[in-house]
Amino acid sequence: MNATTLRTSPDVLVQQIGEEAVLLDLSSGTYFGLDPLGARIWSLLADGHSIADLTNILLQEYDVTREVLERDLDKLVAELQSHGLVRQAP
């Protein structure tokens, strides 16, 4: 994990109900569902936290090892990037 900051796409709308979230990418018309952890990660990304910051915050909030968290985070971020929902901040 590193100091990379990802920017959420301005074309994405987020509806949060309870701890879950639903994303709608207006540019593609595609919906995405996020579980509670995914929703929290999205929220932190939208607030401008770097991946490193975000990892530390989540380690305090969730009972999870750094290794497992980083693996899950890598997977989610890759998926979000592949759909154009986030991109690397300049």
Q: Where do contacts with other proteins occur on this chain (CB under 8 A)?
A: 13, 15, 17, 20, 22, 24, 26, 29, 31-35
Beta strand segments in the chain, E: 6-8, 12-17, 20-25, 30-34, 86-88
Q: 23 or 51, CB closer to other proteins? A: 23
| Least distance CB 26 / other proteins (angstroms) | 4
Q: 66 or 79, CB closer to other proteins? A: 79
Q: 3 or 17, CB closer to other proteins? A: 17
| Least distance CB 14 / other proteins (angstroms) | 9
Q: Return d(Cα 23, Cα 38) in angstroms, integer.
A: 11
Q: Return d(Cα 41, Cα 51) in angstroms, integer.
A: 9
| Least distance CB 23 / other proteins (angstroms) | 8
Q: Using DSSP, state whether 13 is helix, strand or coil.
A: strand
Q: Which of 45, 40, 26 has its CA nearest to residue 83?
A: 26
